[in-house]
Amino acid sequence: MSISPVELMREIYETRTVSDASGVSLPLESEMRLPLAEALYRVVSDHTPNLALEVGMAHGMSTLAILGGLHAGNAGGMLISVDPHQSTAYRDVGRTNVRLCGMSAQHRVVEQLDYLALPSLLQELSSIDFAYVDGWHTFDYVLLDFFYVDKMLRPGGIVGFNDCGYPAVHKALAFLKTHRKYAEIDVGLKPDYNASNVLKATVRRVLRRNNNDRYFRKLEDWEPTWNFYSYF
Ligand SMILES: C[S@@+](CC[C@H](N)C(=O)[O-])C[C@H]1O[C@@H](n2cnc3c(N)ncnc32)[C@H](O)[C@@H]1O
């Protein structure tokens, strides 16, 4: 019997070691923090999406958390992971992890840059129920990821973001809040305003630039009129 995705995820965080497709051990890298992976797992378990999408897979900690949530919900479901570097820089470690927990049939990797993959997925899919954004973290890329996620996400669906403490991600979230209809949801993560010094932490707190992952529920399919602009 294969290991469950969440057991494998926790084991990897403990050992900080992963294996590639040929069994070679490598140090875990580029991963989201464990409490954030646990929160992702809880959100997906609670909402049991039929179709989930993630941007940014790396060694697949978010992938295991999402598949773990689908597994716990026991309701089938499918995850699509967009990452241009899975078989190259990440040596298929994420794919190997999915195979180890016997969930390859519920998982598909689109090995392309987000700006090529997401327009094709928008044409292909009728809608998605859940998305997690953890790819390239500059403002333009996060905004682009959100733009396409918003087009695919059904009303009531949820989108989560990693590295929200980065000014670029925070700015993209300010766009989400001013130019679309979403409500932030509490996933049990206390806001974290820690920084390398007191001044930075104060700025962070004042700007509410929370380091933890943040999740938003889509309230409705809505876009402003063609000439709308709100400062964000
Ligand atoms: C921080 S890592 C993702 C970590 C992963 N979510 C986890 O928790 O294990 C960021 C990932 O984004 C991918 N990436 C970089 N540029 C990208 C792009 N333009 N489109 C999609 N993915 C991209 C990288 O290959 C890398 O795997």
User: Is the pTM above the cut of 0.95?
Assistant: yes
Q: Which residues of 84-122 are buried (b: 16+ CB within 10 A; e: fewer)?
A: bebbeebbbbbbbbbeebebeebbebbbebbeebbeebe
Rounded mean pLDDT, 18-35: 96
Angstrom CA distances, 58 to 20, 66, 186, 190, stand at 12, 14, 26, 26
What is the torsion angle, in degrees rounded to the nearest 10, for the CA atoms of residue 128, residue 76, residue 8 and residue 53?
Answer: -10
Q: Could you tell me the two tokens for 119?
A: 């327009």
pLDDT of 115 strictly over 90: yes
What is the torsion angle, in degrees rounded to the nearest 10, for the CA atoms of residue 164, residue 175, residue 137 and residue 123?
Answer: 120
Name the closest-CA residue to atom 16, ligand 1: 136
List the domain boundaries for the chain.
Answer: 5-218
Interval between CA 185 and ligand 1 midpoint (Å): 24
Q: To which H or E segment does residue 37 belong?
A: helix 34-47
Lining ligand 1 with CB less than 6 A are 30-32, 55-62, 82-85, 90, 113-114, 134-136, 141
Main-chain phi, psi angles of 231, to 5 degrees: -60, 140
What is the CATH T-level fold of the domain 5-218, as seen in this structure?
Rossmann fold (3.40.50)
Percentage of the chain exceeding pLDDT 70: 100
pLDDT, tens only, 185-200: 999 999 999 999 999 9
pLDDT, tens only, 43-60: 999 999 999 999 999 999
Unique residue bearing structure tokens 């998982």: 107
Interval between CA 206 and ligand 1 midpoint (Å): 29
Probe residue for ligand 1, chosen from 36, 57, 109 as the CB with the greatest number of ligand atoms within 8 Å: 57
